[in-house]
Amino acid sequence: MRYFIELQYDGAAYYGWQRQPDAVTVQGTIEDKLSMLRRVATEIVGAGRTDTGVNASFYIAHFDSDTEVDCSQLCYKLNKVLPSDIAILRIYEVEPRLHARFDAKQREYTYFLTPHKSPFRRHSAWYFTAEIDVEKMNEAADKLLEYEDFTSFAKLNSNNKTNICHISHAKWIVEEDGTLRFTIRADRFLRNMVRAIVGTLVDVGRGKYSVADFEDIIRSKDLSRCSTGAPACGLFLSDVKY
């Protein structure tokens, strides 16, 4: 039997999602507690990797079990033993062939920039005070939908079989308090891709690059052309569709 776990996490204290030797990760933390509660070694498979410091407001993982699981009880017990920066939203049975990673049709990331210094947002937004042209940033973001090869925003030595991604949405919105929210959706994302895109779009907004320059960066397929990646703290995996 296969079970999906819906969860959220603040990534500030973790070296990303994926279990690593001698490093505290979200996957490793959940697996350890799940195995303890179930009294059997239990591995989980996530919808994708998130890097060090990246958050998730909505994340999916799955695990397999030879015996039936009381989902509500397991959800309750996991939340009791997991640290406060990881929350289990619900656990439910799915068809055995449904895979949290390989069957995901769309993933959504959201990035936040705030012009207001706040100790309560240091793990959830990039504190950024420079003047930026959001209209130009959206004009550049629209160009992302016209391309498929995002080598220019792919981290080197990531062992990707392909750098092809199909982006269906990319837009900046200014919220009432002045916070900028960037939402991007695609069938897949490359490692560090969203942070590289955000950092480069912000440089468009600052006037460092024109919209034409941004399009040239995409076409160049050259990572050295893009800007420094935006800080991890502002990035959230916010949705996964199956």
The catalytic site residues sit at 51
Q: CA 213, CA 56: separation in Å to the nearest integer?
A: 31
CA terminus-to-terminus distance, the chain: 18
Which among 108, 135, 113, 157 has a CA at the least distance from the CA of 211? Answer: 135
Helix, strand, coil abundance in the chain, percent, nearest 5: 30, 25, 45
Q: CA 125, CA 116: separation in Å to the nearest integer?
A: 10
DSSP string over 84-134 = TTEEEEEEEEE-TT--TTTT--EEEEEEEEESS--TTSTTTSEE--S---H
Q: CA 209, CA 213: separation in Å to the nearest integer?
A: 6
- Structure tokens that stand for 136 in this block: 């130009």
Give Dmax over CA atoms of the chain in angstroms.
59
Place of tokens 């308090």: 177
Which residues, listed in sequence order, are joined to residue 4 by a DSSP beta bridge?
62, 92
